[in-house]
Chain A
Amino acid sequence: MLVIAVVNLKGGSRKTTTTGFLGAAFHEGGLRVLGVDADGENESLARWQSGADLPWPVIGMAVPNLHKTLPGVAGDRYDVAVIDTPPMKAQRGTVLSAVRLATHVVVPMAPTPVEYDRLAAVKELIEESADLRPDGRPPVNAVLLTGVTKRAASTAFYRQQAEEAGWKVLQAEVIHSQRFSQAWGDPIKNAAKGPYGAAAEELLDLEPEEARA
């Protein structure tokens, strides 16, 4: 089972939207998808599932030992688990646990100063997870630029900043649009054809960090 954790320590960084669309993209490919809502405070993914009757299950699992609990719960019944993680600093243990288990980490980030400012803390957490993982290396991880304004210079600027800080930044970009900003609570259609599908495909093509160089 691939485990894709959507992580950003900052709130309002489109984690739930990203998790929902990634899950939908994999589901459209006929894969058995499990959504995991690790954000016990908001439970946005779980409520999206029930509100829109998404065709793949979402379970609530806001626990700091998610890396142990989830494999037991999921068993071999799913091909992909997508985890929506909490933003709160106090729940860093839950985020770390999700990253510890993840095969892939997506960091949604709008190209703005306030979002870029928190990126270093995410990197620190991902690197910390390496020590806790059986193979001693971090999960495959990348930044996904979201809320992008067309033709804005900020996109290229923050892409370059993130790359210079050692991040892999996916070529796929999620343009700011009503389709995504108003998506929560509605059924998700054609996710694979859009930027999230492209992002998922790119992510799966990435090699683990040690093999990149």
Chain B
Amino acid sequence: MTPKTRAEQLAEKTKRLEARQQTGAGHQEAAPSHVPHSTAAEPVLAKPVRSTLDLPPATHRDLQAWLGEAAVRLGRARVTKQDVLEAMVRRLLVDETLARLILADLKERQ
């Protein structure tokens, strides 16, 4: 019998590991779609109101990149759009300077 080449051995080992991966024995699956990130207590009586947001693809891409960098800078696993939008809205409602800037942006787009 011809001895296996290293390329063939590599292929065999890869297939074996892939099989193990699929049965979940000893290898990682893809990262979960979410990671717990908030320890804040959920309000008992006030159910959060869901808001959806449509962004142009380029803006969405830039936001994703920003979130990744923000996570690194904060030493956190991730920073979500939820985190950012919630913080932004909170600040908007108390920061008059920011409110003026946002109003100016809105006026410019009219």
Residues of A in contact with B (beta carbons under 8 Å apart): 1-2, 25-26, 28-31, 63-65, 67-68, 71, 79-80, 90, 92-94, 96-97, 100-101, 103, 131-135, 139, 192-193, 197-198, 200-201, 204-205, 207-208, 211
Q: Does B5 have its Cβ within 8 Å of any Cβ on chain A?
A: yes
Docked complex Cα distance between A1 and B72 (Å): 27
Contacts of A65 in B (CB 8 A): 64, 67-68
Docked complex Cα distance between A25 and B10 (Å): 8
- Stretch from B22-30, B38-46, B50-58, B84-92 that touches the partner: B22-30
Contact (A132, B77) CB under 8 Å given A96-B72, A103-B21: yes
Which chain B residue shows the least CB distance to A191? B7
Docked complex Cα distance between A200 and B11 (Å): 10
Contacts of A28 in B (CB 8 A): 7, 10
Contacts of A63 in B (CB 8 A): 64-65, 68
Instruction: From B6, B31, B67, give the contact of A100 (CB < 8 A).
Output: B31
B10 touches A26 (CB 8 A): yes
Which chain A residue shows the least CB distance to B68? A64
Contact (A201, B17) CB under 8 Å given A132-B35, A134-B32, A135-B28: no
A1 touches B68 (CB 8 A): no
Chain B residues touching A, majority SS: helix
Contacts of B13 in A (CB 8 A): 201, 204-205
Contact (A68, B33) CB under 8 Å given A1-B18, A103-B21, A134-B28: yes
Docked complex Cα distance between A188 and B31 (Å): 32
With both chains docked as a complex, state the minimum distance between the C-beta of B27 and any C-beta of chain A, in angstroms.
6
Residues of B in contact with A (beta carbons under 8 Å apart): 5-11, 13-15, 17-18, 21, 26-33, 35, 64-65, 67-69, 71-72, 77
A29 touches B68 (CB 8 A): no
Docked complex Cα distance between A99 and B9 (Å): 25
Docked complex Cα distance between A29 and B15 (Å): 11
With both chains docked as a complex, state the minimum distance between the C-beta of A204 and any C-beta of chain B, in angstroms.
4
Which chain A residue shows the least CB distance to B8? A29
B31 touches A67 (CB 8 A): yes
B10 touches A204 (CB 8 A): yes
Contacts of A139 in B (CB 8 A): 28
A31 touches B26 (CB 8 A): no
Which chain B residue shows the least CB distance to A96? B72
Contacts of B27 in A (CB 8 A): 103, 208
The 9 closest A-B CB pairs, nearest first, are A64-B68, A29-B11, A192-B7, A28-B7, A29-B7, A204-B13, A93-B68, A29-B10, A93-B72
Contacts of A1 in B (CB 8 A): 18, 21
Contacts of B35 in A (CB 8 A): 132
B14 touches A97 (CB 8 A): no
Docked complex Cα distance between A153 and B64 (Å): 47
Which chain B residue shows the least CB distance to A28? B7
Contacts of A96 in B (CB 8 A): 72
A31 touches B31 (CB 8 A): no
